[in-house]
Amino acid sequence: GYKKLIKEVKKQNMVSISTPFDEESVDQILDLDIEVIKIASCCVTDRPLLKKIAKAEKPVIASTAGAKISDIDYVAQLLESNKVHFALDHCVAIYPTPNDQLNLNQIALLKKRHNNITIGWSTHESPDDYEIIKMAYTMGARLFERHVGLKRKGSPLNAYSSQPFQVKNWLN
Per-residue tens of pLDDT for the chain, all 172 residues: 899 999 999 998 999 999 999 999 999 999 999 999 999 999 999 999 999 999 999 999 999 998 999 999 999 999 999 999 999 999 999 999 999 999 999 999 999 999 999 999 998 999 999 999 999 999 999 999 998 888 888 888 999 999 989 989 988 8
Distances (CA, A) of 137 to 62, 95, 171: 18, 21, 11
Burial 116-139 (b: 16+ CB within 10 A, else e): ebbbbbbbbbbbeeeebbeebeeb
Assign residue 141 a region: left if phi > 0, alpha if psi is -120 to 50, beta otherwise?
beta
Please tell me whether the peptide bond between 96 and the residue prior to it is cis, using omega within 30 degrees of 0.
yes
Distance in angstroms (rounded) separating the CA atoms of residues 157 and 27: 33
Please tell me whether residue 158 adopts helix, strand or coil conformation: coil
Please tell me whether residue 109 adopts helix, strand or coil conformation: helix
45-76 pLDDT per residue, tens: 999 999 999 999 999 999 999 899 999 999 99
Report pTM: 0.90
